[in-house]
A = this chain, B = another copy of it.
Amino acid sequence: MGFQQESFYGRPIVVADRDMVESNSDEILRNARDEDVAFLVVGDVFGATTHTDLALRARQLSIPFQHVPNASIMSGIGAVGLQLYNFGQTVSMVFFTETWRPTSWYDRVGENRASGLHTLVLLDIKVKEPDYGALARTGKLTYEPPRYMTAGQCARQMIETEDERGGGVYSRRSLAVAAARVGGRTQTFVAGTLEQLCSQDETLGGPLHSLVLLGRRGHELEHEYVREFAVDKEKWDSIWAADYGRAE
């Protein structure tokens, strides 16, 4: 629910957190009439619609606000050695369930692939999910343990979706890069075919993971940089030579 501390100017400042903006953003704004409120996020604050909405409502209430730009996965992913200029739209991948398997991202990946562009896939996280089973049994609200989608899970869901949709947007042998803890001291990259990346989670280690599906319009410099991370450099080279590095 946020906490109070002194600001640089000696005025009280309320630090709001992510839970608070999703469940109780009215309170953030009500406080902001009388006090300075700081809202801390991971990444860049304008990377998420929720935060743009908060800023919009602050403006409507004539509450002034400033933001400090920050590193974001949207630009930080360049660390894998793929050029940011060659990325198309970013997509999100949610945990598939028996009944909920949204695939609108597949069409967007298709648009990127048609233009030869890379696609950054951001992976689902489930934190503070209510445990409805326990609630029904015990009457007490508790939370599921946090879950973070791995690059392997993402690769498997992508292959399943291609099998179901059959649009030929990509295949098991399409090249991709899995990235773990980008920008951190233990960041780890693994490159390979989508099929290979289904089983690289152990090498990648803990969360957060992301995945980039390569576009055909890759530059030779990208190939050379990324192949260092390849599960199998010979296979990487032969697939690249056959299908990638196409000029426009």
Say if the beta carbon of A88 comes within 8 Å of chain B. yes
Complex contact A86–B89 (CB within 8 A): yes
Please classify how large the interface on chain A is, using the bins under 10, 10 to 19, 20 to 34, 35 or more. Answer: 35 or more
Contacts of A34 in B (CB 8 A): none
The chain B residue sitting closest to A86, CB to CB, is: B89
What are the interface flags for A89-128 relative to B under an 8 Å C-beta threshold, 1 for contact and 0 otherwise? 1111000000000001001100100010100000000000
**Nearest-CB distance from A40 to chain B (Å)?**
15
* Chain A 222-242 interface mask (CB, 8 Å, partner B; 1/0): 101100100000000000000
A10 contacts which chain B residues (CB < 8 A)? Answer: none
- How many copies of the polypeptide does the oligomer hold? 2
Cross-chain contact of A87 among B68, B83, B89 (Cβ < 8 A)? B89
Tell which of A71, A74, A75, A185 has the most Cβ of chain B within 10 Å.
Answer: A75
Report whether B75 and A85 are in contact in the complex, using a CB–CB cutoff of 8 Å.
Answer: no
| A166 contacts the other chain (CB 8 A) | no
Given A84-B74, A225-B52, residue A46 in contact with residue B79 (CB < 8 A): yes
A108 vs B185: C-alpha distance when bound (angstroms):
35
Nearest Cβ on chain B to A99's Cβ, whole angstroms: 23
Identify the A interface with B (CB < 8 A). Answer: 43-44, 46-47, 49, 52-53, 55-56, 59, 66-72, 74-76, 78-79, 81, 83-92, 104, 107-108, 111, 115, 117, 182-183, 185, 219, 221-222, 224-225, 228, 248
Q: When A and B form their complex, which 8 residue pairs have the shortest distance between CB atoms, in order from nearest?
A: A46-B78, A69-B183, A72-B75, A69-B71, A74-B75, A69-B76, A111-B115, A75-B75
